[in-house]
Chain A
Amino acid sequence: MIRVDGLRKTYGDFPAVVGSDFEVGDGEIFGVVGPNGAGKTTTLKMLAGLVEPTEGTATIGEYDAGDAEMRRHLGFLPEESPLYEDMTARSYLRFFADLYDVPREEATRRTEDTLDRLELEHRDRRLGDMSKGMKRKVAIARSLVNDPELLIYDEPASGLDPLTTNYVLEFTRDLAERGKTVVFSAHNLYHVESVCDRVVIMNRGEIIARGTVPEIRAEHGETSYHVFTTVPVEETDVVGADVTDAVDVAADTAVDATPDTDASAGPETYRSVVADMDAVESVRSAAEKAGGEVVDIRTREPSLEDIFLDLAGRPPETRDDGKGRPVAAQADGGVETLDGDGGDRSGHARDDGGAR
């Protein structure tokens, strides 16, 4: 469905996306993950034909990205839902259906069906009078008026409450089950992990990991074992070449022998985090030697977030814009976008680091 070769975008001297390559199959939900400034949105916009690549190609089916005909088969949902607030949901959707040459009856049927599925009421209410969640649903419905094969959703659950977020994620899964291909970006890695079939992790414009979540976990993550004991285990007690190495890797600094108040582990337990079963055995021996015992052993798989943090280090430094909103630090001093009717220089964060 999608083939991306050497996609690169620079704004002046600032590289927003550096040579991306990936493919997305039909009916797949493909996640693009990364922090602010990673290049996710720029990548998605290049796929949608909104941004012209500096180098490289992106093909959608038989079309080049940006081909007007390709857009007939595309549904794009930007991070925000900038609707025309003086229109009603119905008139708004009808207008976009017109632009896509959807016959009036078909447009009405499709629109009503989508709004039913999205459980959106008050369809003749002004969009400006709707809640953020309702607006998001209208925006999603708009992305579907042309019944596209490909959906590009940029942060579809951004800024929504947990209930609506779950609903949107469920709806996205449902779309894939109906045969749609979905390219999906998110800051929230849990959302990606729970929805996407395959993922690329981007940081500073580069893809730093790719594959299914289990594949990424296997390649980049480390399984850890939490051993709960009734006595503290000194690091020096966990000796032996294999054991020592394992402890160092898993706990980073040392055995994490701290009192644990987990009720299931008992009131007087200590937790040691180690990396493999040999180290677990070493902890058990040390605990017995100290007159205690192992009361519980738990296995912990790394989350995508753990892997991401491990791969990318800390996300780019953020600052506050004075209005309680975080703004990504921008390598070039940055560009701010129009945001708000007052036209303030609001410092709305661009996902691409926005150097223009």
Chain B
Amino acid sequence: MSRSLSDHLRVVRRIARWEVGRSAGTIDRRTAAFALVALLLAGGVASTGALAGGVALDRDIYRVGVSPESPYYDAIASSPALDARPPTVDRADVDLYVGDGYIVADDSQKSRAALAELNDAVRRYNTGAMLAEENRTAAFPVVVSLEYVQRGASIPAGATTGASAESSSGTAGESESGRTGSAGSDDGDAAGPTPDSSRSAGDGSDDGDAADRDDDSLSVPTLGGINPFGSESTGSPADISPPFPFASLVLAFAFLVPMNFVVQAYGGTMLNERINRRGELLLVAPVSPGDIVAGKTLPYLTALVGLTAVVAVAVGGGVVSVAAVLPIGLVFLGATFVGAMFARSFKELTFLTVAISVFLTSYTFVPAIFTQVTPIALISPLTLVVRDLSGAGVSLGEFLFSTGPFFLCAVVLFALGSGVYREEDMFTQRSVPLKFLDALDAHVSRPRDVALVSLLSIPFVFVAELLAIAVLFVLPVELTVPVLLLLVALVEEAAKSLHVFAAFEKGRFARTTRTALLLGALSGLGFFVGEKFTAVAQVVGLPELTLGQAALGPSGVGIGVFSAAGLLLAPLALHVVTAGISAVGAARGRRWYALSFLVAVAVHTAYNLTVVSVLG
């Protein structure tokens, strides 16, 4: 008698409620009270920070001596990083001193960073003030420079980059020692705090807006044109070129931190079911293993979503941030679930969960550093968070590209772990690799299952290949492409053959060459079908990168490489042949499998190299 969805949901809810109650029972009241107080304090601090304008990691780190009457005062006061001090303060105690028409900065990294921050603060202030203007045309005038040149003559340098040229001219005066020079001031009378201090002055050369326009709401002198602060080499992460979204990145990282705590608790409770066969009684109850896993996972997933939402509120993220972090959390849980099903002890589980945390944190965090540099960054959903926090938009295609593999990986991970969530596998002590083979074998009972498992391996293959791209793309293409092609072949051949090997080892199929060839063909076909889904990569143009083409193109997407027939048949033939080679070896035992696997990888790599170097 099959049960309805509502029956399943009712059971899942009951198990989830029990899991919450049981887990609560494992913490003594004093610890719980202490944790609650700590949580409330942290929440209070976060809320206060949010109400006060969001979290500022660099709050008041630069001290600026400035008079309240100074036109810079409001801009300085509005910047969280700048701490306005009275002008009477000892100049040795401040990083910057804003006088009447001049600015004094010490010749130190911190002073230069303070100067850059002042520059940004003034720019933000000006922009805000201009945005408040009713007359937007006046606030944001469009300046068109026309320069007539002879037909056929080359375009003068700078003609199309006027803004940057102007900007760069504005930074003139920098000394070789890194001192910030004064572009518009020649008097040198603005004594710095130390004899070798550098001086910066408001340009006052061509505009002097504030001084001339007392009735103007733009009371702060514009910093356009000649830039008195300079914009290079101040040591601030914001000065790194290309732009490095430091603050957003750090805040995005805040989403990952709570996950590590949640998955530790989750891994513990899942392994606890296996210790002393505790979970046996649930297995004999009228509930399915899926209900049990879902019920035990639900509280932790809810906790993850709740924590993510809290962090999002605290750091100023929106729905996009929460939606982007959710698949990361699911993969965290899925991988931890698999780890808990494979581990033989809490010690081994700890090793696995730490490995999972390190890998996933690296995988999600490192690409996000390049948010504003390359589409490769989108392989991590954390990039979406960074973009959300920095106010950049996220298209639906980008969202799907970034989160899709994570969702699919999470689904496959839970399916993999659920495969061994049964009496015969749960309570036995086998090494992690053997458990992995057990889990694969649990999903292969008929030949067609081989094709399905190959297809379901695609998210992992995709993620592994994207990771390889992300790791290798900084190196010279001539060096990395061959390495990448080898890695791709390794990953894909493993995905196509491991479950076939597991099935043979478990005696699922007769160890005959004919059977092996059939299974190899099915595995290759399933993988080929799944691989076609990787075409989603084109949504963000990743294959336009050389490495993207190398990883996703040779045997897979290959758009524009072959004719239509070749495009379809060549990768299919490759996958069927190489999977067949591995399967024949797998049918003969472990050593033969290892040997045939290497042969399959060699064939695959040769194919990839041929496509890239000869045809591509």
Residues of A at under 8 Å CB distance from B? 12-13, 45, 48-52, 67-69, 71-72, 74, 76, 78, 80, 82-84, 86-87, 91, 95-96, 98-100, 126, 142, 335-345, 354, 356
* CB pair A74 B345 closer than 8 Å: no
| Extra pairs beyond A45-B423, A68-B288, A343-B275 (18, CB < 8 Å) | A13-B507, A49-B284, A50-B422, A68-B1, A69-B286, A71-B284, A74-B284, A76-B284, A82-B280, A86-B25, A87-B22, A99-B11, A99-B282, A142-B281, A335-B430, A337-B429, A341-B346, A342-B346
Q: Which residue on chain A has the smallest CB distance to residue B423? A: A50
* CB pair A338 B26 closer than 8 Å: no
Which of the listed residues A48, A69, A338 has the most CB atoms from chain B within 10 Å of its own CB?
A338
- Given known contacts A68-B1, A82-B280, A98-B14, A336 and B429 CB-to-CB distance under 8 angstroms: yes
Closest CB-CB distance, A145 to chain B, in whole Å? Answer: 10
* CB pair B18 A95 closer than 8 Å: yes
Does B575 have its Cβ within 8 Å of any Cβ on chain A? no
A-B contact pairs, 9 of them (CB 8 A): A67-B1, A72-B286, A78-B277, A80-B277, A87-B22, A96-B281, A342-B346, A343-B346, A344-B345
Closest CB-CB distance, B87 to chain A, in whole Å? Answer: 64
Closest CB-CB distance, A354 to chain B, in whole Å? Answer: 8
Does B217 have its Cβ within 8 Å of any Cβ on chain A? no
Closest CB-CB distance, B432 to chain A, in whole Å? Answer: 13
Q: What A residues does B425 contact at CB under 8 A?
A: 356
A142–B1 Cα distance when bound, in Å, is 24
Q: What B residues does A342 contact at CB under 8 A?
A: 345-347
* CB pair A52 B275 closer than 8 Å: no
* CB pair A76 B424 closer than 8 Å: no
* CB pair A12 B428 closer than 8 Å: no
Closest CB-CB distance, A10 to chain B, in whole Å? Answer: 9
Q: What A residues does B172 contact at CB under 8 A?
A: none
* CB pair A337 B428 closer than 8 Å: yes
Q: Which residue on chain A has the smallest CB distance to residue B505? A: A12
Which of B276, B282, B284, B347 makes the CB contact (< 8 A) with A340? B276
Residues of B at under 8 Å CB distance from A? 1, 3, 11, 14-15, 18, 21-22, 25-26, 274-278, 280-288, 343-348, 422-425, 427-430, 506-507
Q: What A residues does B428 contact at CB under 8 A?
A: 335-338, 354, 356
A341–B506 Cα distance when bound, in Å, is 29
Q: What B residues does A82 contact at CB under 8 A?
A: 276-278, 280-281
* CB pair B26 A343 closer than 8 Å: no
Closest CB-CB distance, B276 to chain A, in whole Å? Answer: 4
* CB pair B344 A343 closer than 8 Å: yes
Q: What A residues does B346 contact at CB under 8 A?
A: 341-343
- Given known contacts A76-B281, A142-B281, A12 and B348 CB-to-CB distance under 8 angstroms: no
Closest CB-CB distance, A133 to chain B, in whole Å? Answer: 17
* CB pair A99 B14 closer than 8 Å: yes
* CB pair B276 A343 closer than 8 Å: no
* CB pair A86 B281 closer than 8 Å: no
Q: What B residues does A356 contact at CB under 8 A?
A: 424-425, 428, 430
A221–B275 Cα distance when bound, in Å, is 43
Which of the listed residues B11, B22, B343 has the most CB atoms from chain A within 10 Å of its own CB?
B22
Which of B21, B285, B343, B424 makes the CB contact (< 8 A) with A71? B285
* CB-based closest 3 A-B pairs: A343-B345, A86-B25, A50-B423
Which of the listed residues A67, A78, A86 has the most CB atoms from chain B within 10 Å of its own CB?
A86
Q: What A residues does B276 contact at CB under 8 A?
A: 80, 82, 338-340
A45–B14 Cα distance when bound, in Å, is 25
- Given known contacts A51-B424, A98-B14, A356-B428, A341 and B22 CB-to-CB distance under 8 angstroms: no
A50–B276 Cα distance when bound, in Å, is 16
